[in-house]
C-alpha cells in the first residue's frame, strides 16, 4: 500500500481508504467538531470568535465546519452589510451611522416641506 503525507500534520501514513488525513487528525477533527456542535447546542446564538474562545477550536476549523454545511451559525460573518456604506452590521440593512444620516435627511426634508406651506 502506498504511503502518503497527511494534509494536516504532514505525518507519513498508509491509508486504508483514500483519505487526505492521518487517523490522528481525523480523530482530532471529530473531537473539535463535537466540541463546537455541543457548544452551539447550548448557545445557538454564539458567533465564531466566541465559540473559538470557549472550545479552544481554531476559528479556521469552525469556518470549515460551517462551510461544509455540518454546522450552522446564526451570526454568519459578512452576512449583513450596510446597504449605504457597506460596513458590517449585526442586523438589519443599515449601520447605525447611516440610520442616523437617513433620519437627519428625513427631518430636513420634513422641515423644508413645512416651510413651503
> By the criterion CB under 5 A, which residues form the site for Zn ion?
6, 8-9, 11, 22, 25, 82, 84-85, 87, 95, 98
CA atoms of 20 and 39, how far apart (whole Å): 27
Instruction: Give the residue with the Cβ less far from Zn ion, 46 or 94.
Output: 94
| Other Cβ atoms within 10 Å of 8 Cβ, number | 14
Instruction: Give the residue with the Cβ less far from Zn ion, 25 or 52.
Output: 25
**Minimum separation from the CB atom of position 16 to Zn ion (A):** 15
Instruction: Give the residue with the Cβ less far from Zn ion, 72 or 103.
Output: 103
Kindly state the helix (H) or strand (E) to which residue 30 belongs, with its residue range.
helix 23-42
Which residue is associated with the grid cell 494534509?
A: 7
Amino acid at each position: 500500500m502506498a504511503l502518503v503525507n497527511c494534509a494536516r500534520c504532514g505525518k507519513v501514513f498508509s491509508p486504508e481508504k483514500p483519505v487526505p488525513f492521518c487517523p490522528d487528525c481525523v480523530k482530532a477533527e471529530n473531537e473539535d467538531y463535537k466540541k463546537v456542535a455541543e457548544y452551539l447546542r447550548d448557545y445557538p446564538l454564539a458567533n465564531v470568535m466566541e465559540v473559538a474562545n470557549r472550545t479552544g477550536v481554531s476559528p479556521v476549523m469552525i469556518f470549515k465546519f460551517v462551510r461544509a454545511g455540518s454546522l450552522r451559525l446564526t451570526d454568519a460573518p459578512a452576512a449583513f452589510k450596510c446597504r449605504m456604506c457597506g460596513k458590517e452590521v449585526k442586523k438589519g440593512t443599515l449601520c447605525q451611522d447611516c440610520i442616523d444620516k437617513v433620519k437627519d435627511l428625513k427631518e430636513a426634508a420634513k422641515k423644508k416641506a413645512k416651510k413651503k406651506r
